[in-house]
A and B are shown apart, each in its own frame.
Chain A
Amino acid sequence: MFGKLLKHDFFATGRFMAVVYAVFAIVAVYLVGSVHFSGNELDSVGEMLSYIALCLIAFVNFILTAVVVMSNFQKTLYGDQGYLTFTLPVKSSSVLLSKTIVSIFWYLAAFGCFMIAARIALWSAGEAIGETTLGLVDSILAMTEDGLSLSVIIVSVIAAIIEFFFLVVAFTMVAFLAITISNTRPFQKHHSLYAMLFMAVIGFVVVKLSEVIGKEPFFGFNYNFSTEKIAFAVGDSAKLAVAHVDLAVPLFLIIVSVGFFFITHYLMKKKINIG
């Protein structure tokens, strides 16, 4: 049953997201092909427009993802479609878990889309001015030539990816909790307004707590790349790098996400009246 929930949640959200990714893919292919075959210059209006469109889609995609995921959550659980969802012979925790997984997938896809757009933009800009730009792997190898330990860099990158992942999970759970609270009886009438308000408040509290716990700027996954940290680890082993990867924030995000999942589930089950 859980697989069926996932399938239908992917389909419900994917109908719109598929269009976004199809447009992104067409623009990306056009831009890469056009720049490659036109003498490596962004000299036509079409190329310039597709260049701008690519960057725009990559940025807007995060907002679109958030809108699609949150409106799907609201409509299918607390709108009229809730009559269907909550009478299915499945556990309400499975319903919530399915929506969480689908949400995380789309945010990660948006991030992947952003990275691809950034890579193409850098490449096409570099081609246009006649200089080659470095990819991530090339950049890492170049850093090692400057004396940085490869293991230090790899550990830092992995730590950053893990932290980003948990950031996405926490963001999803903050949004779901905020929407759920806004659908409880006192706030039901103006639930959209309250959902935004609760999201801002809960998000602010999580940010502040993570700043205190992590002793770093909020969700500072960039700090792993910072000169200071890497310089500190130069010439040392991977152990030293690992020692300087701050696990406090990812752990905090895991605890927050799990906690918010259970609170959302409790409210969903005990405090929401559909219709």
Chain B
Amino acid sequence: MANALLQIRNLRKSYGSHEVLKGISFDIPQGQIVGLLGPNGCGKSSMIKSIVGLINDYEGEILVNGQNPGVESKKVVAYLPEKNYLPPWMTPKQAINYIADFYSNFDKEKAIAMAQTFELDMKQKLKTMSKGQQEKLHLILVMCRKADLYILDEPLGGVDVVARDFILETILKNHAENSTILLSTHLIYDIERILDRVLMVKGGMLAVNTDVEKIRENGNTVENLFREVFSNVW
């Protein structure tokens, strides 16, 4: 695919004798919002961790902007993990300074302004914050980077409907122009309207890789297609 920002070729990953990724290949072009869908344990997180450089013992090839995962690719990838990755003693101010120190594409002023908009106390320690406040801070740290590729792992998990709308709105409003968003979730209904493309991973293999527009042209929805693909999983 021309202008592919993310290229994955025959990606395989095993934990001991258990193979979680069984030779996945796909390209993601620039400027799209891509949904990475699949039930828990299908290999989504392992794929994401391989792309961002948290897992290195995979087979196959991953190219981000033509680079293997490493120092250069990490400069252009903004990653929001499923877990709280900040130390509990950190305050929003310290977290913003930390990220600003390492990423030249991080907009510190915008982050401070967003923290004020989200009514975060800049001196409050993370361990005393609510889950919602922590989510907001994580979102600020990721979305205030002018990245080429945003990888968001279950950003809507564990929050109520109102918070989900807020998170999606924040992502859409703040991602860099012409950037790509890879959004992993199993809450399809909430994200269907914003997706350009969907990837569905089933049993470590790519079951679906198609434009959302094509699904709609066939009179279907992403949610229904998901049901069809994974109907025999449960």
A residues whose Cβ falls under 8 Å from a Cβ of B: 1, 4, 7-8, 12, 15, 75-76, 80-84, 86-91, 185, 269-271, 273-275
Question: In the complex, are the beta carbons of B53 and A87 less than 8 A apart?
Answer: yes
* Closest residue of B by beta carbon distance from A88: B102
Q: Which residues of chain A are within 8 angstroms of B57 by Cβ–Cβ distance?
A: 270-271, 273
Question: Residue A87 contacts which of B52, B56, B87 (CB distance < 8 angstroms)?
Answer: B52
Highest count of chain B CB atoms <10 Å: which of A4, A185, A269, A275: A275
* B161 within 8 A of partner (CB): no
B234 close to chain A: CB less than 8 A: no
A81 touches B16 (CB 8 A): no
B84, A1: Cβ atoms closer than 8 Å: no
* Contact A273 to B85, CB < 8 A, known contacts A88-B74, A89-B74: no
Q: List 7 A-B residue pairs with CB atoms under 8 Å apart, sorted by A's residue number.
A: A87-B54, A89-B72, A185-B15, A269-B56, A274-B54, A274-B55, A275-B49
CB distance from B125 to the nearest CB of A (A): 11
Instruction: Give every chain A residue within 8 A of B85 (Cβ-Cβ).
Output: 80-84
**Contact between A86 and B101 (Cβ–Cβ < 8 Å)?**
no
Min CB gap B98→A, angstroms: 6
Binding site for A on B (CB under 8 A): 15-16, 45, 49, 52-57, 71-72, 74-75, 77, 79, 81, 83-87, 89, 98, 101-103
Q: Which of A7, A89, A185, A275 has the most CB of B within 10 A?
A: A89
* In the complex, residue of chain B having the shortest beta-carbon distance to the beta carbon of A4: B101
Q: Which of B56, B89, B98 contacts A270 (CB 8 A)?
A: B56
* Total CB contacts across the A-B interface at under 8 A: 63
Select one of B53, B77, B87, B98 contacting A75, CB under 8 A. Answer: B87
Closest-CB distance, A14 to chain B (whole angstroms): 12
The answer on a CB contact under 8 Å between A83 and B83 is: yes
Known A81-B86, A83-B81, A275-B49: A90·B56 in contact at CB below 8 Å? no
| CB-based contact B102/A90 at 8 Å | yes
Chain B residues whose C-beta falls within 8 Å of the C-beta of A269 in the assembled complex = 56
Pair A82/B54 contact, Cβ less than 8 Å: yes
Query: Which A residues are in CB contact (< 8 Å) with B56?
Result: 269-270
> B140 → chain A, closest Cβ, in Å?
14
Cβ–Cβ < 8 Å partners of B83 in chain A: 80, 83, 275
Q: 10 tightest CB-CB pairs across the interface, nearest first?
A: A83-B85, A89-B74, A83-B81, A84-B85, A89-B75, A4-B101, A80-B83, A274-B54, A88-B102, A89-B71
Contacts of A83 in B (CB 8 A): 54, 79, 81, 83, 85
- Which residue from chain A places its CB closest to the CB of B105 in the assembled complex? A89
Q: Return B86 CB to nearest CB of chain A, in Å.
A: 7
Distance to closest chain B CB from A189 (angstroms): 13
* Shortest distance from the beta carbon of B132 to any chain A beta carbon, whole Å: 18
Q: How far is the CB of B194 from chain A (nearest CB, A)?
A: 24
Q: Which residue of chain A lies nearest to B84 when distances are taken between CB atoms in the complex? A: A80
Docked Cα-Cα span, A271 to B58, in Å, equals 10
* Complexed CA–CA distance, A8 and B192 (Å): 40
Known: A83-B54, A270-B57, A275-B49. A89 touches B103 (CB 8 A): yes
- Could you tell me if B89 and A15 are in contact, using CB atoms closer than 8 angstroms? yes
Could you list 13 further interchain pairs (A-B, Cβ under 8 angstroms) beyond the known A75-B87, A273-B57?
A7-B101, A76-B87, A80-B83, A80-B84, A83-B79, A87-B77, A87-B79, A89-B74, A89-B102, A270-B56, A273-B15, A274-B54, A274-B55
Which of the listed residues B54, B75, B89 has the most CB atoms from chain A within 10 Å of its own CB? B54
| C-alpha spacing A84/B72, complex, angstroms | 16
Closest chain B CB from A266 CB (angstroms): 10
| Bound Cα distance from A270 to B75, whole angstroms | 21
Nearest residue, chain A, Cβ from B85? A83
A4 to B104, CA, bound (A): 13
Give the docked Cα–Cα distance between A7 and B54 (Å): 23
A268 to chain B, nearest CB (A): 9
Interface pair B84/A86, CB less than 8 Å apart: no
Judge whether A275 and B45 touch: CB under 8 Å: yes
The answer to whether A185 and B16 touch (CB under 8 A), given A81-B86, A82-B54, A90-B71, is yes
Q: Cα distance A270–B85 when bound, in Å?
A: 21
Pick from B53, B75, B87: contact of A12, CB under 8 Å: B87
Q: Considering the chains assembled together, what is the distance between the CA atoms of A91 and B75 in angstroms?
A: 12
Nearest-neighbour CB distance to chain B for A222, whole angstroms, equals 40
Complex contact A273–B49 (CB within 8 A): yes
